[in-house]
Chain A
Amino acid sequence: MTRKTIKVDLLARVEGEGALKIVVRDGKVKSAEFNIFEPPRFFEAFLRGRHFAETPDIVARICGICPIAYQMSAVHALENLLGVEVSGPLRDLRRLIYCGEWIESHVLHIYMLHAPDFLGYDGGVQMARDHGAAVTRGLQLKKVGNEILQLLGGREIHPVNVRVGGFHRAPRKRELRPLAEKLKWAREAAIETARWVSTFDFPERERDYIFVSLRPADEYPFNAGRIVSNRGLDISAADYDAHFEETHVSHSTALHSHLREDGGSYLTGPLARFNLNFDRLSPLAREVAREIGLAATCRNPYRSIMVRAIETIYACDEALRVIETYEEPDRPFAPVEPRAGVGYAATEAPRGLLYHRYGLDAQGTILDAQIVPPTSQNQACLEEDLLDFVGGFLHLPDDDLRRRCEQTVRNYDPCISCATHFLRLEMDRS
C-alpha cells in the first residue's frame, strides 16, 4: 500500500498561527494533533508587579479580535476582589460594549473566515466576486459592531475607556442615539445573515458534547452568571480551578483544559451558550432560530455558524435595549480602593468562556495572575472532533479532505494569539 503524507503548514483564516497533524493507518484515524505554534508572550508572568489599575490596558493586548472580553474578565475579577459591584447604567454600558464586540467578531468569523468553507472559496475577498451583496452586507454589519466599540471604547482594537469600577467617561444620551437607527438596520441584516447561512450544506456530524457556559439568572450571558454544564455542573467563577485543570502537551504552546472530575474535554462558545441559555435569548432571536431549523439543542459543530448569526441578532436586540433605556450615570465609575486578596471572574468572549484570577497585595500590586482563554479550553474538544469526524471524510480527495479538516477547526473560531500560554495540517496516511 502506498504511503502518503498531506501537510498544511499554516492554517489560514484563523487568528494566529497553527498547524494540524493527522495520522491515518489502515484507513483509520489514529491521532489528531492541533499544534499551536504562536510564540509564547508571557502575559501571566509580566502582569506580576503591575498596579491593578493597569490591567485592562495590558490584557487587551492579548487579543486584537476580542480585547473587550479580556478587559471585562479582568475588571470583573478585580472588582470581585475589591468588593465593588457595578450596577445600573454602568453595568448596562458593559453589556453594550460586549454586544459591539460580539457583533464585530461573530460577523468577521461568519463572512470572512467560515462562510468561504461552505461556499468553496479561499477567503471572503475571493467570495465577494460571486457573492458581492452578501459580503457587502457582512462588512456593513461588522461595522455597526465596531461603531459601538468606537463610541464606548474610543477605538475598535484595544479600547481605552474601560477601567476597574466602570468607564473613564460615560457617553451622553445624545451620543448613543444615532447608534439606534444603525442597530435597527443591523438587526435586519443579522436576520438575513441567519437565513443565508442556514442554506449552506452542513455535514451531518454530531457529538455528545459537555457544554460549558455562563448562565445568569435572567439574561443571556456576557459578564456574569454561574458556570454551568449540561451534566449538572453549577459553580461560581471562584470554584473554577477546583473543577478545571490545564495540562501542557509538547506539540502546542497552548495549554489544554480538562474537567478534573473525569479528565474529559468540554465545549465552550456559541453552541454551549445557545444550548444552555436558549430560554434567555430575546424572543426575536428564538423565533429566527426556530425558523432556520435550530432546535433548542444543537450538537452539530458545523452549524455553529448559524448559532453565531442568532447570537448576532441577540446582540443587536440587547444593544438596542440598552440604548433605548439608558440614563446617564452620576459618575462614570464606582470608586475603588486597593486591598489584599484574590479575585475571580469568567465572561463570555465571542469564542467561549474566558476565566481570570488575580492576587493582589494591600497596595494593589498584582502578585499572581491566571488567564484561561477559550482556545485553550476548547483545544482538547477540537482534537476529539477531528479524531471523530475525519474518518467520515477519508474517501474524499486529499485537497477536499484537507479543506474539511480546516473547516472543522474553524468551527471553533479559534483565536490563536489568545492562546496565551497554537496549525500545520500534516496528513500521514499509510
Chain B
Amino acid sequence: MAHRKPRLAVWKFASCDGCQLSLLDCEDELLAIAGALEIAYFPEATRGDVTGVYDLSLVEGSITTPHDAERILDVRHRSKKLVTIGACATAGGIQALRNFADVREYASVVYAHPEYIETLATSTAISQHVPVDFELRGCPINKGQLIDVVSAFLTGRRPNTPAQSVCIECKLKGNVCVMVARAVPCLGPVTHAGCGALCPSYDRGCYGCFGPKETPNAPSLSGWFERLGVDEKGLQRVYRTFNANAEPFRNESQRHDAQDHQG
C-alpha cells in the first residue's frame, strides 16, 4: 500500500474552543504540521471529511448532552488513537460546576424556556465514557505540549509532559515562592505542571488551571491556606473552578462543604 499521511481529526464537545485554537495559535509551526499530517476533520479551521477512520483524534470539551454521550462512542470507534485536550475533556471543565448543583435550577436561571434545553445533570470527562490513549491537561493546554503530544503519537514515542507540580516549574524559573515570601495562597504544590508557573510569575498564586498533579496532598495544602486566613467557603471555591470534577480537587472541595450547603 502506498505511503499516506496520518489523518488528524479535531473534535469539539462542551468547551470554549480555546484548546483547539491552540493549534491555530502555533503560527510558526501550523503549516509544517499541515504538511506532515492530513487535517481530515477540523471544523474550526476547515470544511472536512467526517467519514472514515482517523489515525489521531484530538478531543476537546466535556460530555454534557445525551447526543454528545452517543457521539463520543462514534469518535472513539473511528479513531486509532484518541487524545483528550484540556480541562473540559480531561476533567469536565468549568461546566462541571453543575455536578455540585441542580442543573434544572441552573437552566431556569439562564433560560426563559428551560424546556428547550437538552442537557445532562453532569459534565464529565471523555475518559468516563470511552478509553482514552492520553490526556493533555490545562485550561487552556500549553501549545508546546500539544506539539510534543502530536509528534509523539506520529513517531510512536511517549509524550514528554511531566506530571510533577507547578512548584518544580517555579523553582526552575527562579521565582520567589509567593506563599512563603508573601503569604499569598497558591495551588502550585498540588497542581500539574505545564503552564510554566505562569501565575506566580505574574505576582499571584496559582489557581490550579492544569488540575491535580500526580499524588497531590490537597488536605495538607488546605491547612496552610487556613493559616493564611482562607475560610471554609473560600477553600471550597479554591478547588471548585476549571478542574472541579477531577477527583482530588472534587474530594477536597467536598470536605469543605460541611458548613455551606449553598454550593
What residues make up the interface of A, taking CB atoms closer than 8 Å to B? 10-17, 38-46, 48-51, 54, 57-58, 61-65, 67, 108, 112-113, 116, 122-126, 128, 132, 135-136, 139-140, 142-143, 146, 154-158, 160-161, 163, 168-169, 246-250, 253, 255, 332, 415, 417-418, 420-421
Among A44, A122, A142, A417, contact of B15 (Cβ-Cβ < 8 Å): A417
Q: How far does the alpha carbon of A146 sit from the alpha carbon of B27 in the complex, in Å?
A: 10
CA of A256 to CA of B203, assembled, Å: 40
> Which secondary structure characterizes the binding site on chain A?
loop
A169 in contact with B46 given A64-B17, A157-B140, A417-B15 (CB within 8 Å): no
Interface residues in B, total, Cβ within 8 A: 64
Report the minimum CB–CB distance from A101 to chain B (whole Å). Answer: 12
Contact B43 A13 (CB under 8 A): yes
Q: Contacts A124-B45, A157-B22, A168-B202 given: A63-B39 contact, CB under 8 Å?
A: no
A108 with B17, Cβ < 8 A, contacts A124-B46, A253-B117 known: no
**Residue A125 contacts which of B46, B93, B111, B199 (CB distance < 8 angstroms)?**
B46
12 contacts between A and B (CB under 8 A): A14-B44, A40-B64, A41-B64, A42-B103, A45-B107, A46-B98, A63-B17, A122-B46, A157-B21, A160-B199, A246-B112, A415-B17
Q: Contact: B94 with A41, CB < 8 Å?
A: yes
Within 8 Å of chain A (Cβ to Cβ): is B139?
Answer: yes
Q: A139–B30 contact, CB under 8 A?
A: yes
Which residue of chain A has the shortest Cβ distance to B106 in the bound complex? A45
Q: Which A residues are in CB contact (< 8 Å) with B95?
A: 39, 41-42
Quick check: is B192 within 8 A (CB to CB) of the other chain?
no
B34 surroundings in chain A (CB, below 8 A):
125, 128
Apart from A42-B106, A158-B139, list 17 A-B contacts with CB within 8 A: A10-B50, A15-B17, A15-B44, A16-B17, A17-B12, A39-B68, A39-B119, A40-B64, A40-B107, A43-B94, A58-B94, A61-B16, A67-B18, A108-B24, A122-B48, A248-B113, A255-B112
Bound form: Cα–Cα A62–B16 in Å? 6
Smallest CB separation, A192 vs chain B (Å) = 17
Residues in chain B near residue A62, CB distance under 8 A: 16
**Residues of A contacting B68 in the complex (Cβ-Cβ under 8 angstroms):** 39
| A13 partner, pick from B15, B45, B262, B263, beta carbons under 8 A | B45
Q: How far is the CA of A48 from the CA of B25 in the complex (A)?
A: 33
Bound form: Cα–Cα A43–B28 in Å: 34
Would you give the shortest CB distance from A402 to chain B, in whole angstroms? 10
In the complex, which residues of chain B have a beta carbon less than 8 angstroms from the beta carbon of A123? 39, 42, 45-48
A332: chain B residues within 8 A (beta carbon) = 203
Would you give the shortest CB distance from B42 to chain A, in whole angstroms? 8
Which A-B residue pairs are the 8 nearest by beta carbons? A64-B18, A123-B46, A45-B106, A157-B140, A143-B27, A122-B47, A139-B27, A248-B112
Alpha-carbon gap, A414 to B31, bound state (A):
25
Determine the distance from Cα of A249 to Cα of B111 in the docked complex, in whole angstroms.
10
